[in-house]
Structure 1
Amino acid sequence: MMSFKEFISGISFKSLQPHMPLTYTDEFSNTILPEEDEQMKKTLFEICSIPKMSTLALGTIINKGIAQMEDHLAFVNVGVWNGFTFLCGLVNNRNKKCIGIDNFSEFGSPREDFLTRFSSYRSEFHHFYDMDYVDYFKTCHNSPIGFYLYDGAHDYDNQLKGLQLAEPFFAKNCIIMVDDTNFEHPRQATLDFMSGSTNKYEIIMDAKTACNGHPTFWNGVMILQKLNE
């Protein structure tokens, strides 16, 4: 089995590359996974029909990361929207602790649609909190985090706060995924979070795309790994 770092570095694309201007392409045929390509695409095929601001490639990164996460750790996803990224973590990971948080304050508030989908995929280890992420971390969270995805508001202050509030729970080797890093504010907030932290982090992936909505890595992604306890 490939390590997580080997998997994400091995993702490639058949024709449309991240730096190329957007043209129509079928992301399933364009995306080439370095391991279990056919199996992973079958696993996520149904979920990829959910309205999303993400891609198959990003979904496979999440699914692989949760699959390799130690059982006592948690996957935490701030900002679930219609559920694509969160549910990508749940599929075939029924024994992994997965936590989603969203108060549905943006993008049409698809609360009922998400809850219907969540009820179809969840196990007893999967939880959702309908609340603001700041309140959640201050009053509810108590588990060490093995994979963290902040996908809430991407202004500088919220991006930085979303990382700082979760950081005390980051386990050693925790994976931190930040999307929309084509934009200046989430990128700079992430870099400032790293430079201002007493912990050590490694950027294990930093992919930009030619535009927002790109079928490779959408609007850019950064993936960090915490190196120390």
Structure 2
Amino acid sequence: MNVTSFQDAFNEKFRGRLLNLPTYEYWDPIVSHKLDLCPDVDGKLSLKKQQLLNLAFGFLDAGEAYFEVGTYQGKSLISAMIENAPRPVFACDNFSQFDDNTLETLQKNLSKYGLSDRVTFFNCDFLEAYTASKLTLPIGLYFYDGAHDYTSQYEAIKRVEPFLSDEALVLVDDWRHDFDSDSLAKDATLQAAAESTGNWTLLYELPARFNGDRAMWWNGVGVLSFRRAV
């Protein structure tokens, strides 16, 4: 992935108040429904996060893949893929976090949007997904929304690194830690990046005022670039 080109497009799309301030019209159900890329799919992400995923996916190079951990019912997955050129997609979830989250629901949602044949899905613990037999193409875009305890998040960065493209974009959800969010995503990610022999850069810390902030970035997103050391 050409991260510089992504940044140029991101800075243009989210310039000014769109980046760090609430977009209150996104609370309007009519506006929200109109702008939502897949309004009939349940998911815990704001319109801005949908737009981020869709924008980033569009910068995947030929021969690169998108890898998502924590797919739930497919809203983030569909948001990334829809209206973009086809690219290989790997996704992983074991459906352990939510009672109403089932593989059948995910499959129905992907089928509804005509995306079923573009996704290789791993129904397993995320730690089992980081293998050469599963991740058969370099990962140009990685979105992690799995468990955000320190150990899980740390391992999610350490284990994916060998499978990343020489230049890749990494999005980490639930970046925010506060009274209503016990996520340790930020600390664990930065620790893993600091220990790496590759070159990690924190590009953006996309804010939220509370967990579930529809006018901003839901519960925050960390956007990082990775470049493999020569």
TM value normalised by structure 1: 0.83
SS of the equivalent of 1:116 reads helix
Kindly indicate whether the alpha-carbon contact (under 8 Å) linking 2:107 and 2:116 is maintained by their aligned counterparts in 1. Answer: no
Partner of 1:37: none
Partner of 1:4: 6
Q: CA deviation at 1:28?
A: 8.0
- CA deviations on 1:175-197 (whole Å, 9 max, x unpaired) are 00001111251110011011111
Indicate how the Cα distance of structure 1 residues 190 and 200 shifts in structure 2: closer, same or farther if over 3 A, else same.
same
Q: Which runs of 4+ in 1 moved over 4 A?
A: 12-15, 17-20, 27-30
Gaps of 5+ in 2: 178-182
Kindly indicate whether the alpha-carbon contact (under 8 Å) linking 1:144 and 1:171 is maintained by their aligned counterparts in 2. Answer: yes
SS of the equivalent of 1:3 reads helix
Match of 1:68 among 51, 59, 64: 59
- CA deviations on 1:71-117 (whole Å, 9 max, x unpaired) are 20010000100111111122123520111111101112421211101
- CA deviations on 1:27-80 (whole Å, 9 max, x unpaired) are 8859xxxxxxxxxx97x6351342211111111111111111102001000010
Partner of 2:115: 122
**How does 1:1-229 map onto structure 2 within 5 Å?**
3-10=5-12, 11=14, 18=20, 25-26=27-28, 45-111=36-102, 112-120=104-112, 121-122=114-115, 124-138=117-131, 139-183=133-177, 185-215=184-214, 216-229=216-229
TM value normalised by structure 2: 0.83
SS of the equivalent of 2:197 reads coil
Q: CA deviation at 1:172?
A: 2.2
Gaps of 5+ in 1: 31-40
Give % identity: 25
Indicate how the Cα distance of structure 1 residues 18 and 181 shifts in structure 2: closer, same or farther if over 3 A, else same.
same
CA distance in 2, matches of 1:192, 1:115: 35
